[in-house]
Structures are given as structure tokens and as C-alpha cells.
Structure 1
Amino acid sequence: MELVVTHASADFDAFASAMAARKLHPGATVVMTSGLARGVREFASLHRDRFPWLAPADVDASAVTRLVIVDVRRASRLRAIPALLARVERRELEVHVWDHHPASDDDVRADVVHVEPVGSATTLLIEAMRARGIEIDEVEATLFALGIHSDTGSMQYASTTSRDAEALAYLLSRGASMRVMSRFLSVPFTEAQRVALASALDAIETTRASGLRVAIAAIELDTPCEGLDEVASELFRIELPHALFLVATVPHRGRANVIARAREGTIDVAALLGAMGGGGHPTAASLSMRDTTREAIVHALRDAIARHAPRPLRVIDVMRSPVRTIAPDHPLVRLRDELPSWRVSGVPVVNGGALVGIVSSDDVERAEREGRLHLSAGSCMSAPVRTIDVCAPVEEALDRMTEHRVGRLPVTREGALVGIVTRGDLRALLYS
């Protein structure tokens, strides 16, 4: 007997990859270990005859000969199948893994491993089906497309790859319904979610960790709230910190959940919560705990954040130095020819060691059009100058350029000019 399993509270990627694995392993039985996420449950209910599954209690663990694990490989996230995990440890089962999460210390031992850094586990299974010439219909294509949309944020997450896009394009060519996808990807908030979001907005506290803005919202609920991950995502969208931790406790149930979100390249929330028994992606992770208090969790999180927060990239790491400058009486007619030869689009204007303005190529071109090229740089320089400290995070430089609509920021240390950072420098950094 072949069994396909995935993690508890299966999202669309987990559910879709499980059903895709059944296509690769005809005759295999799918087991949903512990519930389905909110939108998935509605879809699965409507399509139960097309995508059947069993609960762990309905399966004779001793009869299983091959275990196919999808969208997960951490044993701690498969606690609902202890008898099967025990047989895996005794090497009594052939184990296949299809996953896209980073490796961890408690990964399940596997005989065949399909793990690659793509945005969605479903993508890997779609590629395998295409390679084997396995046909799919429009209903299957829609489910598989939902899986890819779910774990790539509809192609917006930084972990998304061209392979995810190619798999999604193939599914659309096989009849995946955008109308059906939009219905199940955009499920309205429940009253419990709205209450949780309002409470989180009231409770949120923001601190700095290695220059990064980290938000923690610790709330207490009267009853468990389904869809806390959606609440955390909405809170993250509203507040836009570098990292967010939503802590929700239900005291009389003795349970607590932590949902984390982070910007790419800031805090690896999967590693942070993984050290506490959770897991997920570097930008989205979760943790479930019992018999603990909200205060204890927040204290543990603050300690973990201090340990895991990386040194942020600072302006000093990307600025150009030494910086070329000119005096206020520098002739514009000379500057017109010098800027291209210097390969810059603007220069700071310094008078007696003090930064007094900045002249861009646009300023020089405007002066030429208006017949003012015979004047000096001081006649068309922009002042006062927006500057940034040498130790400021790069994110701050990006925000400041956007806010003030400038293309360059002179960099200072204790008031002295030490370099310059341009939108081209930051653009190169973003695209790298």
C-alpha cells in the first residue's frame, strides 16, 4: 500500500501537491494529517469526489509499504502519523520526499528526495508529470494552479522562480480556471479574523534589531481563530515592518500560535521559529505551542530575534567614495561636458568644506535650454540637500529617495561628506 501525506492544516500547495503525487503514484491513498486551511476546505468539499483522502485513523500503518511525503520533510510537522514515522525510523518503509523548504535537523529519512529551491512544491510535481507525459484535466489543472498561486503569493514572493511561472503557464494551457481560482484565493475574513486583526493592530509593538524594524503583536483570544496566517499577512501588509510576529494565545485551551512574516533578506523566520519547534519558509513560518503564556513566548521571541537578526546592509556598504565635488562658482558650460566623462549624473556642491547644494544633469540640461549655460553651478543647484548618515540601513536610503523624489543622496559622517549613493546603486543592489 502506498500512502501520500503532507503537513497539518494543509494549505493549497500541500493539498495540490498531495493530489499531484497521487497522479505520479497511481493507486496511492492520500492522507490529510490534521485538517485543511480555510479556503482549501471549501474547495476540497466541493471536489471531494475528484480528490478523495482519508484521515490517519482510517489507515492501517502496518500495511503501508511506501510513504510519499509532500510539501514538508520535518518530522515535527508530521506528528499526526507517529506509527508511520516509527516505521520510517526502523527503515521498514520506502520513503519519497517532494519538498521546497530548507533542510533542518529533524528531516525525515528518505530513500528518494526531490527537493529544489522553487516557490511551490506543486511545481516540482507538475514538472515530473510533464516529463512522464501524464495528462491532466481542467479541474486538476485548477487545483494545481491554486497550489502554485498560494505558495508564490501569485508570483509576488521573492522565492518565486521562472519554473513556477512555467508550470503555471502550462496549467493555464491545460484549462485551469481563473474564475475558480479567484473564488478560492480571495476568501472574505470571518468575524473572528476581523476581531483578531483589530486586536493585533491595537497590541502591535515595534522595535529595532540590527537596524531592522521588527513588529510583535501579542493577542489573547477567547476561542481559537481559524485563518490566523491570513490575519498575519494582512497585518504585515498594513504595517510593512522588516519582520512581524503575531502571537495568539487561547488561555483556557492552553495553546498558543506564532505566525511570522518577513521581507526577503532580513530575518530568516523559518530558522528562528525552527529553533523553537516551528518551521516554514525564510519569509513565512509558524509555530504551535502548548502550556505556555503570552509573556513567555514574547520574551523567547525577543531573545531569538536578537540572535537571528543579521547585520543589515548599510549605506557605507554601497556608497561611492571618495565623492567628486564642485564649487558654487564652477562653470555650467564645463560641467555639461564633465558629467558624462565622470560617468555621474550629478555632483554635490561644496563651499569652504560645507555641503551647500547638488547639481544634476537635468539641472544642467534645463539651464542649457533656457540659455543660462554661461552661469555657475550655484545658480541652478538644489538646496538644501537631502543627506543620509553613513551607518543608516540601505532601506532607509531607498525610502528617503522615494519620499523626497531625489536620485542621489550625499552620505555624511558627523556632518562631513564622505560619499554618495544613487538610485542606480540601489537599483543594482535590488536586482542583484
Structure 2
Amino acid sequence: MVIGRSTVDGFDVGSIMRSMGGGGHPNAGAALLKSVNPAAVEDRINELVLGNQQVSVQISDLMTFPVITVPDDTPMKKVAEILKEKGCTGVPVLNDTKPVGMISRRDFRRIKKESQLKSPVKAFMTTKILTIEPGKSPMQAARLMMKHDIGRLPVVENNRIICIITRSDAMLYLYDLLPD
């Protein structure tokens, strides 16, 4: 037996339970499942929750403005100054207006000699840049950041970074959902 309840607007528990052969309404539902593996049921519920939720709060409601970026030819020493001055742990790297990478404090560990601080950021940046669209949910952003162990996601629309969502932005939102 699976029983679900929700007090979150835009989240239909009944729909999820109907997908599993049960029933209910937006705030509560149940389904009777026979001869099934509990781990498989949990996986299926997680899949249905992520697929059926209506996103009432979007990343665009939480994102950080303005986005601090650096050109790909910026010396690492200047990047370090920007990170310290702005109080951030990482920033997108651009070639003109196109995102080409991310640089974070973690990337500075690869610097072995002081002379490397004169090198352009493109020599040390992470080139596999993960992005997210503004209409996605904070939960989707948090899961993506946790899965890839990253602290920020550029929010991209029409191949341009419009803002950024940080792990802190997403976690603070999700923390506020917890009951007191």
C-alpha cells in the first residue's frame, strides 16, 4: 500500500496514485500494489513525482542577478581578485557572449607555480559546462548540481546566460519548504 499526501500547490498526489493503479485527489491518494519490490516502487514514485509535478516556482524566481562572468583570456590572478571581491566561488567564462566554461575556486588547486597566475582562465577552466533553462524547478537544479558536484548552474535562454542559480539558492528554497 502506498499512501501520499501533499500541501504543495501545483502538486497532484491523486494523479501520481492513478498512474500506479490507485486514486485520489490533488492533496491525497493511495494505491495498492501487490507482489512488488519496495525499491522498485520507490524508484517509480520518484520518477512520477519528478515527471508529474507542475512547476509553480521556477528557477527564474530564485536566480541571482547580475551574472558575474569573465572573458576567456582573463588572467587567473584577475579571476582570483574577482571571486574574492564579489564573494562568489565560481563564474562562467565567455568567449564574446558564448559560454565556454566555468571557473571555480576548486580549479585554482591546479595552479602549481605563481607564474601560472598570469595564464588565461581558459587554461584552467572546466570546459564541460552544465546549464539549465529558466522554466525548470529548483528541485531539478538542486538534483543536477548534487549529481555533478557543482555549486552553480548558468541559466541559459537562446544560447545566452541570463542569470545563474547557485546550490545555496536552491537549498535555501527547498529548506523553506520544510515544516516548522
Report the TM-score, using the length of structure 2 for normalisation: 0.71
Aligned equivalent of 2:108 = 364
Structure 2 distance, partners of 1:233, 1:315, is: 35
Please give the secondary structure, in 2, of the residue aligned with 1:329.
coil
Structure 2 unmatched runs, 5+ = 23-30
Question: What is the CA–CA distance in structure 2 between the aligned matches of 1:392 and 1:214, rounded to whole Å?
Answer: 20
The residue aligned with 1:315 is: 59
Measured on the aligned residues, the alpha-carbon RMSD in Å equals 3.6
Cα drift, residue 241 of structure 1: 3.5
Instruction: Report the AA paired with residue 228 of structure 1.
Output: L
Q: Is the 8 A contact 1:214 1:241 kept in 2?
A: no
Give how far 1:407 is off. 1.7
Q: CA deviation at 1:417?
A: 0.8
Unaligned runs of 5+ in 1: 1-36, 38-157, 160-208, 220-226, 244-262, 264-304
1:233 Cα shift? 10
Map Cα deviations across residues 302-335 of structure 1 (whole Å, 9 max, x no partner).
xxx9xxx654321111111220111011111122
Cα distance in 2 for partners of 1:366, 1:428 equals 31
Tell me, in whole angstroms, the C-alpha distance in 2 between the residues paired with 1:230 and 1:335: 58
Corresponding residue for 1:400?
Answer: 144
Distance 2:73 2:142 in 1: 31
Return the letter of the residue paired with 1:377: V
* Equivalent residues, number: 156
Q: For the residues of structure 1 that align with 2:110 and 2:140, how far apart are their CA atoms?
A: 30
Match of 2:129 in 1: 385
Q: For the structure 1 residues 354 and 310, does the alpha-carbon distance in structure 2 shift closer, same or farther, using more than 3 Å as the test?
A: closer
Q: Which residue of 2 aligns with 1:430?
A: 174
Letter in 1 for 2:173: L
For 2:129 and 2:101, the matched residues in 1 are separated by 5
Matches within 5 A, 1:114-153: none
Separation in structure 2 between the aligned mates of residue 389 and residue 380 of structure 1, nearest angstrom: 26
Runs of 4+ aligned residues of structure 1 deviating over 4 Å after TM superposition are: 212-215, 229-233
**1:338 partner amino acid:** I
Alignment of 1:237 with 2:42, yes or no, is: yes
- After the TM superposition, which residues 287-298 of structure 1 pair with which residues of structure 2 at under 5 Å, given as runs? none
Which one of the candidate residues 14, 20, 25 is aligned to 1:217? 20
User: Kindly tell me: are residues 401 and 326 of structure 1, through their superposed partners in 2, closer, same or farther at Cα, counting changes over 3 Å?
Assistant: same
Amino acid at match of 2:126: S
Name 1:128's counterpart in structure 2: none
Give 1:425 shift: 1.4
> 1:364 Cα shift?
2.3
Give the deviation of 1:408 after TM superposition: 1.2
The CA deviation string for residues 225-247 of structure 1, in whole angstroms up to 9 with x for no partner, is xx93898994651221454xxxx
Instruction: Report the 3-state secondary structure (helix = DSSP H, G, I; strand = E; otherwise coil) of the residue aligned with 1:424.
Output: helix
* 1:228 corresponds to 2:26: no
Check 1:317–1:231 CA distance in 2 against 1; reply closer, same or farther (3 A cut).
farther
1:238 maps to a residue whose letter is D
Residues 311 and 329 of structure 1: is their aligned pair in 2 closer, same or farther, counting only changes over 3 Å? Answer: closer
Mapped contact 2:132–2:153 kept (Cα < 8 A):
yes
What is the distance in 1 between the residues matched to 2:35 and 2:150?
Answer: 35
TM-score (norm. length: structure 1)? 0.32
| Number of the residue aligned with 1:416 | 160
Give the distance between the partners of 1:370 and 1:427, measured in 2 at CA: 36
The letter for the 2-side match of 1:356 is V
Cα distance in 2 for residues equivalent to 1:312 and 1:232: 32
The one-letter amino acid paired with 1:346 is G
Take 2:34 and 2:69, find their aligned partners in 1: how far apart are those partners? 51
Offset of 1:348 from its aligned partner?
0.6
Once the two structures are superposed, residues 176-200 of structure 1 have per-residue CA deviations (whole angstroms, 9 ceiling, x without a partner) of: xxxxxxxxxxxxxxxxxxxxxxxxx
Structure with higher Rg: it is 1
Q: Tell me the secondary structure at the aligned position of residue 358 of structure 1.
A: strand
- Pick 1 or 2: higher relative contact order, CA cutoff 8 A, min separation 6: 2
Asked if the contact 2:142–2:171 (Cα under 8 Å) also holds between the matched residues in 1, the reply is: no
Deviation readout 1:43-91 (Å, 9 max, x if unpaired): xxxxxxxxxxxxxxxxxxxxxxxxxxxxxxxxxxxxxxxxxxxxxxxxx
Note closer, same or farther for the CA distance 1:313–1:384 as it changes in structure 2 (3 Å cut).
Answer: same
